């Protein structure tokens, strides 16, 4: 199986990995959006007691928080350093019921088909050569009736201005080169991949940011950052 990953993308995240849990670092946006996305996921999927897979988990900000809500979480990624940071954080913070593995989503889908109640794949699809293959693997990993959550960045002029010019060049929330415009994903494209993979789109939310108050909130505006919730038919 050829691996669906871009080595330069993985190196970018590995190079910054030691700062993953510093809430004032390059990962500040992930720390800030985490309570918002966690509550939204929990409201849909009721995490407590569920078997959860977090695809592209990085240093484990979302994985760890879902385990703290009572889920049994496996986080997977293909960058080794963020995974080590995630493991170390779980040890230090004493988070039980979270585990991390370096494995591709497609390979895990062959190994553990239909084993997870809930799957999250956040801020990751826009870093992968073939995101539709990830969506397909995710659909295979979830049990019938299970929930899947994806988040990414829309592709249009506003998203270019906010997510690249604004976030990387003006506000410097993210390092330059974090995102590549051509890899952004329109909600219609993501919805098509979900339909092709046999999962139903149930809900969506936009994530908006005010640079003056430095706060994020959920809204109905999916024109820049957005998340979708899907279900695999029972």
Number of neighbouring beta carbons within 10 Å of residue 107:
15
Q: Count interface residues toward ligand SAH (CB under 6 A).
A: 21
- Sheet bearing 51-55, strands edge to edge: 98-102, 72-77, 51-55, 116-122, 142-153, 225-231, 200-210, 215-219
- CB contact at 8 A, 174 and 196: no
Which one of residues 52, 62, 135, 138 is an interface residue with ligand SAH (CB under 6 A)? Answer: 62
- CB contact at 8 A, 37 and 151: yes
- CB contact at 8 A, 109 and 55: no
Cα separation, 77 vs 105, in Å, equals: 8
If one asks whether residue 85 binds ligand SAH (CB under 6 A), the answer comes out as no
Task: Output 10 or 185, the one with its CB closest to ligand SAH.
Answer: 10
Q: Which stretch binds ligand SAH (CB under 6 A): 77-85, 142-150, 154-162, 187-195?
A: 77-85
If one asks whether residue 77 binds ligand SAH (CB under 6 A), the answer comes out as yes
Task: Output 24 or 157, the one with its CB closest to ligand SAH.
Answer: 24
If one asks whether residue 10 binds ligand SAH (CB under 6 A), the answer comes out as yes
- CB contact at 8 A, 57 and 65: no
Q: Minimal CB distance to ligand SAH: which residue?
A: 58
CB of 127 to ligand SAH, least distance (A): 4
Which one of residues 16, 21, 30, 118 is an interface residue with ligand SAH (CB under 6 A)? Answer: 30
Site residues (vs ligand SAH, CB under 6 A):
4-5, 9-10, 13, 30, 56-58, 61-62, 77-79, 82, 104, 122-124, 127-128
């Amino acid at each position: 199986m050829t691996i669906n990953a871009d080595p330069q993308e993985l190196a970018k995240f590995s190079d910054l990995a030691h700062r993953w849990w510093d809430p004032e670092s390059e990962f500040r946006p992930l720390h800030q959006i985490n309570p918002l996305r966690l509550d939204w996921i929990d409201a849909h999927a009721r995490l407590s007691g569920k078997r959860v897979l977090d695809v592209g988990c990085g240093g484990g900000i979302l994985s760890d928080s879902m385990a703290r809500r009572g889920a049994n979480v496996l986080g997977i990624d293909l960058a080794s350093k963020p995974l080590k940071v995630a493991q170390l954080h779980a040890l230090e913070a004493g988070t039980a019921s979270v585990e991390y593995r370096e494995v591709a989503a497609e390979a895990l889908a062959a190994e553990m088909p239909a084993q997870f109640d809930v799957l999250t794949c956040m801020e990751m699809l826009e870093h992968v050569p073939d995101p539709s293959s990830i969506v397909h693997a995710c659909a295979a990993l979830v049990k019938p009736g299970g929930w899947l959550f994806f988040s990414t960045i829309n592709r249009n002029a506003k998203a270019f201005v906010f997510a690249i010019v604004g976030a990387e060049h003006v506000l410097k929330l993210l390092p330059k080169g974090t995102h590549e415009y051509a890899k952004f994903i329109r909600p219609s494209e993501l919805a098509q991949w979900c339909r092709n993979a046999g999962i139903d789109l149930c809900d969506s939310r936009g994530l908006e940011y005010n640079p003056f108050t430095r706060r994020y909130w959920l809204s109905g505006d999916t024109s820049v950052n957005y998340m979708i919730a899907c279900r695999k038919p029972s």
